Amino acid sequence: MIEIRTGLLPHMVLQRNARGVSDAEFTGACNADGTVEVRVTRGGKTVKGFDWARAGTSAKRRFTARLKGLPAGGPYDVAVRVIARDGTVLDTADVVDVLVGDVWVLGGQSNMHGVGLLADAEPPHPLVRAYQVNDTWIVAQDCIHDMSVANARIHIQLCGGKRPPPNARVGVGPGVSFARRMMDLTGVPQGVISCAHGGTSMDQWDPAKKRLKDASLYGAMIERFRRNGARVAGAVWYQGESDTNPESAPHYGRKMKRMVAAMRKDFADPQLPFAIVQIGRVAGWAQPAQGWNSVQDQQRRLALEVPRLATVPSIDLDLDDLIHISGRDQRRLGRRLAEAMHAVVTPRSRHAAPPPIRLRKVRLESIPGTVQSQITLEYDNVSGSLRAPGRPTGFEVTMGSQAYPCIFRTDVEGDCVRLLCNRLPADLADKHVHYGFGHDPYCNITDAADRSLPVMGPIPIAEPRALTGFAREISVSAFQPAIRSVRELKHPVDLAALELSPRRFDIDFCNMHQEIAARDADALLYFGAKVTCPQAMKVRLWCGYDGPVKVWVSGRERFCDPKGTNPADPADAFVDLSLPAGETPVLIGMGTNGGQAWGVFLRAERLGLSKATLAKGPEHYALPRITPL
């Protein structure tokens, strides 16, 4: 009896080549040595050219053969035999219900795994197949990542050491709908190889763990790929939620680029196409929103930085629980993924959908005769025109890490979004525009083909600058006796006498108003910080204040405003400095302004960088760091 181990399995989809025909290598074991032949039938009739055609040889009871030239379509039944030189049949096997078309690897965590309600699942189609986690092919129908039947060791380990019971309620991901739509777009059968697992991080998908084989996610994916003939059309990826914590989020883009490079190498296809999902929204998430939005924006930018990769937004889709896309909208997402993938693999086809929507330009204008501004965002790849059910929403202007309420109307027209705002201040260095800001925004703008705008931000409204965040941790002194004018104030000889102690503030403003207002008399407060530079650099120190103020750097007076008063503005004053590598002390003395003062803003800007470097973003250059003195 012939045992086929890789490349030709019942009910499978064989990956077609560039000419639209099979070129599938299959291997296995048998009881005799000789010539391997194949006979292919369809509907009971032999396919021309496949009436016991030579396919390979067996030796030492192992064989390698190739099923070459079978046209896309099917289903086909394949008979395999080993014959001796005299024509004696030595061994046989039958492989039924085989298709030729396109095969895709599905990877990621729970939203690819599928947690949408099964009541909303895509209906099955006989020409769309799935290679499940139990290593068998079926007509694709969710749940295709059913861990109750998983074979790979890593899936069982991640389920706590034993397979969970089956879940008859949930299990819809985007994979089946992706394949169904790809069949419509290409006209050939489709197959997906299920490799996802819920709750997994990029570190758990580390390609370096390939050596662990099926005891690692990456290794298990490679084993499934090889078992199915080691040829696929591309990869579909939906992961990132587990990397939104403050420690992991900054590194997401780098790790994803490494994953893409590793898969392209291990799949022996340097141009392997990718369609990835930009993670959507989450309700009740305990981690700070900055990490969530950072991963989303890195995913957006991957499409700009990695060739043959498309990023598909999901921010407008409904959920079936706090974090998982609903079964109904997983079907919408699957269609979006298919259209994005089709645009990647057939970029010059006039029948292909445009790639996912991409931001082209942001510009700010004052509206003449009013105290209002307009931010216009122009987009590429819009199908038809932008639209929204009801009032278009989802945009925010931010200052630092907080929303800056100023947008009072959002208009969409053609490929543009116009944000009408209260007049923005002249200094826009710390103002940015976002789409999908925070954990759980309501975003409802799509184009005529039901494709969402991408989550994005922070996108500078003005020219990019190398600014740090506002100091939220700074040393604050005990209240000191008031003096007649800060002009007379000298740098304290004994800093210890000030009783400086580190304070942490929840917002971008070092707000002492409650304590200041509780005092009966005017007083003096000191704020102390260290500016640490990883290398020598030119730095502009920005300070906002609402009381009479004096600033010292390394003990030397650098700024004084004896008339400082409300309100505090982040750009009230600046000091230009040439700082060495290491720590530089900064001390700010501020009068409490008769109890009316609130506190200070403090941040730093690195000067002297080129526009090209600034445009790349802060991950491409070093910045100072502000910490308590």
Which string of DSSP letters, residue by residue, matches 485-514?
Answer: -GGGPPPPS-GGGGT-EEEE-SSSSEE-HH
Main-chain dihedrals φ then ψ at residue 169, nearest 5 degrees: -105, -40
Predicted confidence at residue 29, as pLDDT, reads 95
Q: Which tops the pLDDT comparison, 329 or 405?
A: 329
Predicted confidence at residue 352, as pLDDT, reads 76
pLDDT band at 462 (very low <50, low <70, confident <90, very high): confident
Predicted confidence at residue 426, as pLDDT, reads 57
pLDDT band at 620 (very low <50, low <70, confident <90, very high): confident
Annotate 3-36 with DSSP letters as a single string: EEEES--TT-EEEB-TTSEEEEEEEEE-SS-EEE
Span 118-132, pLDDT tens digits:
999 999 999 999 999
Predicted confidence at residue 407, as pLDDT, reads 94
Predicted confidence at residue 570, as pLDDT, reads 83
Predicted confidence at residue 520, as pLDDT, reads 78
Span 220-255, pLDDT tens digits:
999 999 999 999 999 999 999 999 999 999 999 999
CB-CB contact of 283 with 241 (8 Å): no
pLDDT band at 427 (very low <50, low <70, confident <90, very high): low
Query: DSSP character for 451?
Result: -
Tell me, rounded to whole angstroms, the distance of Cα 200 from its chain centroid. Answer: 14
On the question of pLDDT at 320 being above 90, the answer is yes
On the question of pLDDT at 400 being above 90, the answer is no
CA distance linking residue 281 with residue 317, whole number of Å: 8
Query: DSSP character for 347?
Result: T
pLDDT band at 402 (very low <50, low <70, confident <90, very high): confident
Alpha-carbon distances of 291 from 224, 250, 311, 438, 610, rounded to whole Å = 33, 8, 18, 10, 27
Predicted confidence at residue 425, as pLDDT, reads 65
Predicted confidence at residue 616, as pLDDT, reads 78
* Per-chain mean pLDDT for the chain: 94
Stretch among 271-280, 405-414, 417-426, 544-553 having the lowest mean pLDDT: 417-426
Residue 330: exposure state from Cβ atoms within 10 A (0-12, 13-18, ≥19): buried
Residue 317: exposure state from Cβ atoms within 10 A (0-12, 13-18, ≥19): buried
Q: Tokens 């122009």: give the residue.
A: 378
CA distance linking residue 214 with residue 604, whole number of Å: 49
On the question of pLDDT at 561 being above 60, the answer is yes
Residue 19: exposure state from Cβ atoms within 10 A (0-12, 13-18, ≥19): exposed
- Classify strands 456-460 and 53-59 as parallel, antiparallel or unpaired: unpaired
Structure tokens at 207: 């390609």
CA distance linking residue 161 with residue 110, whole number of Å: 18
